[in-house]
Amino acid sequence: MWLYLVVLVVLYYLLRWYRERQVVSHLEDKFVFITGCDSGFGNLLARQLDQRGLRVLAACLTEQGAEQLRNQTSDRLQTVILDITQTENVTATTNWVKERVGDRGLWGLVNNAGICTPTAPNEWLTKQDFVKVLDVNLLGVIDVTLSLLSLVRKARGRVVNVSSVLGRVSLSPAGYCISKYGVEAFSDSLRRELSYFGVKVAMIEPGYFVTNMTQDEGFIGYLQALWNWASPELKELYGENFPADFLKTLSLLKPRWTQNLSLVTDCMEHALTACHPRTRYSAGWDAKFIYLPMSYLPSFLVDLIVYCYYPQPAKAL
């Protein structure tokens, strides 16, 4: 009985390995549009796909980021300045993409741009703090996707949305987790709708990686500013030591953070170039062996795990 089970498992993984090794033909003729290419995952993916021979259309937030990327890549790669929170900018960029892809359509759309601050206890924040994160991480993704969807459908191509392990289990307060849960829901519904047109939708769910978005300076600056603006009642409730304890909690995660961004971009590349891409890609050992299993645990167990490392307010019961 056990032997049959082992054989079935081995056959399953062999079949999956064989299917996932099959690569789409004529990659050199395919256009891929990537957001957030100034640094981090988007920058590395743009360079990686350019080396692979694809025609990369890289959207950067700043001209400096665009120039640096052009200096590191071939003449095939083209850049455009894009702020995904500005609908007029998204519309203009869509027209720019149409001019370049022509009748071939857009093979790949990678929604990579994102932010993670402000990060602080929910009670410290205002509605606008949540809106700031949602505008980029969720509404910006939706706006770009809807604008370019007809081009992707024409090519029977791929949509790759960068989510997070924090879109599976909420461990960080404020808008970041909310936005990533929204990306998961949007991707699921989009995948089912577009399957009728031969378009595949994949989600990338990285663990903790060191990028410009996760630098300590950003967390410290926002947290200190929020603490300075907090009311006397909140300061008394949480205690003067809470901000330092909160930062110490983040520092405990740092040994698990990795600088090997290719673990993420390799997943993105596979989603764009494989004949049979996965629906979800977990990147990083912490995503695979800690956060993903946690997402399947009962809520009371997840709460217990979070309580073990999250700092408590001074006036906690």
The catalytic site residues sit at: 176
Beta bridge partners, 57, equal 33, 78
CA dist 130 and 277 (Å) reads 33
CA dist 251 and 221 (Å) reads 15
The answer to whether 46 and 110 have CB atoms below 8 angstroms apart is no
Q: Tokens 């990537």 map to which residue? A: 34
Q: Identify the sign of the CA torsion 118, 123, 126, 131.
A: positive
Structure token pair of residue 296: 């399947």
The gap between the terminal CA atoms of the chain, to the nearest Å, is: 53
- H-type helices in 254-315, by residue range? 262-273, 285-286, 292-294, 299-309
Provide the 3-class DSSP secondary structure of residue 111. strand
CA dist 50 and 36 (Å) reads 16
CA dist 75 and 90 (Å) reads 24
Structure token pair of residue 310: 């999250």
**Which of 288, 265, 310 minimizes the C-alpha distance to 46?**
265
> Which element (helix H / strand E) includes 68?
helix 63-71
CA dist 204 and 113 (Å) reads 13
Using a 10 angstrom Cβ sphere, with 0-12 exposed, 13-18 middle and 19 or more buried, the burial of residue 251 is: exposed
